[in-house]
């Protein structure tokens, strides 16, 4: 499993199952490598070992958001080299990549969702492995994998960004099931917010 412990992920899933309480009370989850080298998670701060705090949540997925998406701060220089390199290689609009990263993780390298999606572009563990991503919490690997996935979706949906956004959020299976954009409120607001962010980054950064 590329150095990832199944037990560690099960422990994380258990922690996430209680995340409504933990996140609301601002409790923390830490990721670290145990002595045998496996990636582990804990809600207790590790001692005598290097660790990183995990950030939770899809930034643009909340149905009832108080964020003004037309005015919220943009991050045009965040991971610029990694984004531009992957976008050129896979022939994807770099500003769409920025919009997806902004929407998914708010440019937080260690972001992780309740469902277990990881890193800047919120890749699920199985998807990350399929895309050749060994460490989804490394910016370059995560972006390369996420943009590769975006390129696949762009080809599948003939460049229709709303459909691409829907599939990225809700999954290709749901897009197929509903023969279009799924009727999920989260997906609807996600598409709108990605569209806004894409246009705003496009105006700010001419590619």
Tell which of 13, 30, 55 closes a domain.
Answer: 55
- Beta-carbon contacts of 86 under 8 Å, excluding residues fewer than 6 positions away, are 92, 97, 143, 144, 146, 147, 148
Read off the CATH number of the domain in which 73 is found.
1.10.530.10
CA distance 50 to 84: 31
Residues 111 and 163 in one domain: yes
The separation between CA 57 and the C-alpha centre of its own chain, rounded to angstroms, equals 9
Residues 197 and 100 in one domain: yes
Report the number of distinct structural domains present in the chain.
2
Residues 187 and 169 in one domain: yes
DSSP code string of 42-90: ESS--SSS-EEEEEES-TT--SS----TTTSPP-TTTTHHHHHHHHHHH
Please say whether the dihedral angle defined by the alpha carbons of residues 184, 185, 186 and 192, taken in this order, is positive or negative: positive
Residues 127 and 86 in one domain: yes
Residues 104 and 158 in one domain: yes
Residues 8 and 95 in one domain: no
Residues 92 and 190 in one domain: yes
pTM for this structure? Answer: 0.76
Give kind and range of the element (H or E) at residue 39: strand 39-42
Residues 67 and 83 in one domain: yes
Domain residues for 166?
57-204
Active centre residues (catalytic) = 104
Q: Dump pLDDT digits (tens) for 26-79.
A: 445 666 777 787 767 666 777 778 766 655 557 667 767 788 999 999 999 999
CA distance 51 to 30: 6
Residues 101 and 181 in one domain: yes
Q: What spatial distance separates the first Cα and last Cα of the chain, rounded to whole Å?
A: 38
CB 60 within 8 A of CB 195: no
Q: Dump pLDDT digits (tens) for 65-113.
A: 788 999 999 999 999 999 999 999 999 999 999 999 999 999 999 888 8
Residues 72 and 169 in one domain: yes
């Amino acid at each position: 499993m590329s150095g990832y412990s199944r037990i560690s992920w099960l422990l994380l899933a258990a922690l996430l199952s209680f995340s409504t309480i933990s996140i609301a009370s601002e409790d923390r989850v830490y990721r670290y490598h145990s002595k045998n080298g496996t990636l582990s998670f804990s809600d207790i701060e590790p001692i005598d070992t290097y660790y990183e705090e995990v950030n939770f949540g899809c930034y643009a997925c909340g149905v009832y958001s108080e964020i003004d998406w037309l005015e919220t701060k943009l991050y045009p220089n965040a991971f610029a080299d990694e984004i531009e390199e992957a976008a050129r290689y896979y022939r994807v609009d770099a500003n769409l990549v920025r919009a997806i990263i902004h929407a998914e993780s708010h440019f937080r390298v260690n972001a992780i969702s309740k469902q277990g999606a990881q890193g800047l572009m919120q890749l699920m563990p199985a998807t990350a492995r399929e895309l050749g991503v060994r460490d989804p919490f490394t910016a370059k690997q995560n972006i390369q994998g996420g943009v590769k996935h975006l390129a696949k979706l762009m080809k599948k949906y003939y460049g229709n960004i709303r459909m691409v956004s829907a599939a990225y959020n809700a999954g290709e299976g749901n897009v197929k099931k509903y023969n279009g954009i799924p009727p999920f409120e989260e997906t609807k607001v996600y598409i709108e917010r990605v569209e806004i962010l894409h246009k705003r980054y496009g105006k700010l950064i001419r590619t």
